[in-house]
Amino acid sequence: MFFYEFSLICDYSLKKTLDWLDIVIESFLVNAQVAKDQRHFLLKAYLMSWITKIFPFLLWIKELKNPEVLKADAIAGATVALVLVPQSMAYAQLAGLGPQYGLYASFLPVMIAALMGSSRQLSTGPVAIVSLLTAAALGDLATDPSSYAVYAALLALIVGLFQFMLGILRIGFVINFISHPVVNGFTNAAAIIVSVSQLHKIFGIRVISTSDTDWNVACQPLTLLERLEQTGSSAMHAICNADQNYETLWRLIDAALDYVHIPTLMMSALAFLTMLVLKHFYAKIPGTLAVVVVSILVSWVVGYESMGGAIVSSINMDSVFSFKVPSFDLKAMGSLFIFAVIISLIGFMEAISVAKSMAAKTKQRLDVNQELIGQGLANITSSFFQGYAVAGSFSRTSVNASAGAITGFSSVITALIVGIMLLWLTPLLYHLPQATLAAVIMMAVFHLINFSPIWHAWKIEKHDAIVGLLTFVLTLISAPHLENGIAFGVILSLGLFLYRTMQPNFSELSAREGSSILVSAVENNLEGCKVVSLVKYSGSLYFANAAYFETKMLELIAHNREHLRYIIVDVAGINQIDASGEEVLLNLVESCSESGVEILFARIEGLDAILEKAGFKDRVGQNRFFQRRVEALRYAWREIGDPEAEFDSPLRHLIGR
């Protein structure tokens, strides 16, 4: 086994490296022999940490010596392959490519992602959302069918390089800039768009796009005679693609009322019925594979092609396994870059979410940056072997895990089976109906339609839910220009984030009679103390919101100008402060002190070191800082020296002299 032999070579190389380092160390240290075992242990741990970062599969490859692990991975890999082969062909057509390109993207990229990523169960390959985004990216760029695959490979290369650089630079956190409501809104819209885009294959109506060679001839108004001639033909009716998806949908519905292709519709119904029956009554049988086999047999027996039905027909495998460097068109790369960034982030978010779920179940370590490297290398590999952009698949990963996959070797088995399919079995797919592939896509994306996260976000924070809904609506309206929807959602969510940080929570605290728990006076309808006010500020105090904090403090003073003597600021909620924030605190202390209001600070532990280092505590006086809020209250009333006012305070039971 190649990978196992490679691990033995690495072990041997590691031993020789340790021996060489020992010679170097012993030439400098007199008592080096005494600590040789300890040095070996530390050096080996250090070197192995670096080697496993370069070759992550070394962490699990030795487990394959166990026959039970090898058997489990082989069964899981074969199970996923039975799902991947028909899905990859369908997704390739969703991307606007021939079915063979889906198989190309399901061979070496699947293997590379498993070997170079950190997740053991993640199944990589063509997925619906990335395929749809690929079609959106290439729709306006590829003016003829021959250039489509070239640009698809170039897009995969840019995606791969972007993900690889994010992983190498250890900045995988950038995916957090796309909030979950935005992703959910986009995913729901994309799932609906994917489903709608397959309806013409379900009804047996051809949609002619501007890149098709017969666009100029076909997309002209028909005369009455031509319409009568088409009505008597068994061939599929054709409509012309519109600028917006909803316009194309309207044309499709209008045409389907009169020109639906009955054999295609019946084949679609057979595919849906087969998958639904197997899903509900025979769940152990892979429904996707079963419907492909059944459809091929029915198509061949009844002569579906002769009825005018669209089939896969001959799959061009002349360039299988051929290494080809993508064409570097700088103008095209500029046009594709924004799509590459969106595909990189959206595709990886799906991959990492399912990988985290699997890691939690198996209690295995997951490295986000290493996974980015693995996904990036998979896309780079796909581009050099005439595939297109790939990502981690939620559905196939679930199949992989439920089938018992233990290590990444299961995906290697999956890739090998796809390779065998590429070499010898593609002629068996000749009679596969296009309607069946459309049904496979629609069934696969139905589970992506889920509005419950948006409803859940509404219960927690309405603004998040609104962002998700707006992303959903705008993505639907702007299709096929999907980048507009996701860009709008990202900008809106970042704007909402900045708004929240610019105006964090500032509240005056009080307590119920006899209670030691301090809560917001406004939210709990309690009276605040007019002489010694206790306030809490939650969030970072930095240049963008320092003025807001200053304004709230001055408003508090203006509201109680006749009685207010002290303000105690609970700073436990301030997790970060910059120079602007520190300057505002200093100015407030000095200006308020001049007007007769002193500012004290309680629960200073989180900021104590930085304020001490900045010299803030020495400048305003060490006596303004307290570990507990009660200590600050007692100090303030002791300095005021007014027992009558103290007795009237709603916080008198906390002072407790």
Report the C-alpha gap between 514 and 94 in whole angstroms.
67
User: Which of 446, 467, 494 is a domain's end point?
Assistant: 446
Asked if the structure places residue 297 within a domain, the reply is yes
Beta pairing, strands 123-125 & 205-208: unpaired
What pLDDT, on a 0 to 100 scale, did the predictor assign at position 656? 65
Identify the sign of the CA torsion 607, 612, 616, 619: positive
517 and 426 in a single domain? The answer is no
Q: Are 550 and 512 in contact, with CB atoms under 8 Å apart?
A: no
Band of the pLDDT at 69, cuts 50, 70, 90? Answer: very high
Residues 441, 313 share a domain? yes
37: confidence class by pLDDT, cuts 50, 70, 90: low
Q: Are residues 591 and 640 in the same domain?
A: yes
Q: Which helix (H) or strand (E) holds 599?
A: strand 598-602
Cα dihedral 49, 55, 56, 61 in deg (nearest 10): -110
For residues 352 and 309, membership in a common domain is answered with yes
Most distant CA atoms of the chain, gap in Å: 104
pLDDT of residue 426: 83
In the listed set 411, 429, 446, which residue is the last one of a domain according to the structure? Answer: 446
Least confident stretch, 7-21, 417-431, 471-485: 7-21
Q: What is the pLDDT of residues 507-550, one digit of tens each?
A: 999 888 888 888 888 888 888 888 999 999 988 899 989 999 99
Beta 205-208 vs 237-240: how paired, if at all? Answer: parallel
Q: Is residue 217, in this structure, part of any structural domain at all?
A: no
- 421 alpha carbon, distance to own chain's centre: 31
pLDDT tens digits, 152-167: 999 999 999 999 999 9
Distance CA 277, CA 119 (A): 33
388 and 537: one domain? no
Nearby residues of 626 by Cβ (< 8 Å), 6 or more positions away: 600, 601, 602, 603, 604, 632, 635
Concatenating the DSSP letter of every residue in 101-141 gives HHHHTTSHHHHHHHHHSS-SS-EEE--HHHHHHHHHHHTTT
**What pLDDT, on a 0 to 100 scale, did the predictor assign at position 566?**
93
Regarding whether 417 and 554 lie in a shared domain, the answer is no
Residue-wise pLDDT tens digits, 410-447: 999 999 999 998 888 888 888 999 999 999 889 888 88
Is the confidence at residue 28, as pLDDT, over 80? no
Contact indicator for 271, 291 with CB cutoff of 8 Å: yes
DSSP classification of residue 560: T
Q: Average the pLDDT over 196-223 and give the result.
A: 70
pLDDT of residue 480: 78
- Please say if the pLDDT value at position 264 is more than 60: yes
Residue 18 lies in a domain: yes
Mean of per-residue pLDDT scores for the chain: 84
Query: What is the phi-psi region of residue 421: left when phi exceeds 0, alpha when psi lies from -120 to 50, beta otherwise?
Result: alpha
Give, as one character, the DSSP assignment of residue 58: G
Exposure on the CB side of residue 165, measured as CA atoms within 13 A: 9
The pLDDT assigned to 490 comes to 86
In DSSP terms, 393 is beta-bridged to 123
* Same domain (yes/no): 13, 113: no
Confidence band (pLDDT; 50, 70, 90) for 227? Answer: very low
pLDDT at 589: 93
Q: Is residue 225 part of a domain?
A: no
Same structural domain for residues 571 and 511? yes
- Do 520 and 576 sit in the same domain of this protein? yes
Query: What distance in Å separates the CA atoms of residue 237 and residue 459, rounded to the nearest whole number?
Result: 48
Residues 600 and 627 grouped into a single domain: yes
Terminal-to-terminal C-alpha distance of the chain: 79
The whole domain housing 295 covers 67-204+260-446
- Cβ atoms < 10 Å from Cβ of 142: 19
Q: Which residue has the tokens 């950038």?
A: 174
User: Which pLDDT score is estimated for 501?
Assistant: 83
Q: What is the helix (H) or strand (E) element at residue 336, kind and residue range?
A: helix 330-362
| Burial classification of residue 352, based on how many CB atoms lie within 10 Å of its CB (0-12 exposed, 13-18 middle, 19 or more buried) | buried
> The domain that contains 617 carries what CATH number?
3.30.750.24
Residue 635 binned pLDDT confidence (cut-offs 50, 70, 90)? very high
pLDDT tens-digit readout, 375-422: 999 999 999 998 999 999 988 998 898 888 999 999 999 999 999 988
DSSP per-residue string spanning 259-273: H--HHHHHHHHHHHH
Tokens of 515: 């209670």
Q: Is residue 465 part of a domain?
A: no
Helix 409-420 vs helix 108-116: crossing angle, to nearest 10: 170
- Entry pTM: 0.78
- The confidence band for 101, taking pLDDT boundaries of 50, 70 and 90, is very high
Instruction: Please tell me whether residues 37 and 148 are part of one structural domain.
Output: no
What DSSP element (H or E) covers 509?
Answer: strand 505-510
Q: Let me know: does 73 contact 114? Beta carbons within 8 Å.
A: no
Residue 486 lies in a domain: no
pLDDT of residue 259: 84
In order of 133, 296, 347, 476, the CA distances from 342 in angstroms are: 8, 36, 8, 17
In a domain, 153, yes or no: yes
Domains: count for the chain: 3
Q: Which of 422, 446, 470 is the last residue of a domain?
A: 446
Which of 537, 504, 508 has the alpha carbon at shortest distance from 521?
508
- Rounded Cα distance, 616 and 600, in Å: 13
Instruction: Please check whether residues 181 and 329 belong to one and the same domain.
Output: yes
Residue 137 in any domain: the answer is yes
- Give me the mean pLDDT over the 635-647 stretch: 85
3-state secondary structure 369-432: HHHHHHHHHHHHHHHHCCCCCCEEEHHHHHHHHHCCCCCCHHHHHHHHHHHHHHHHHHHHHCCC
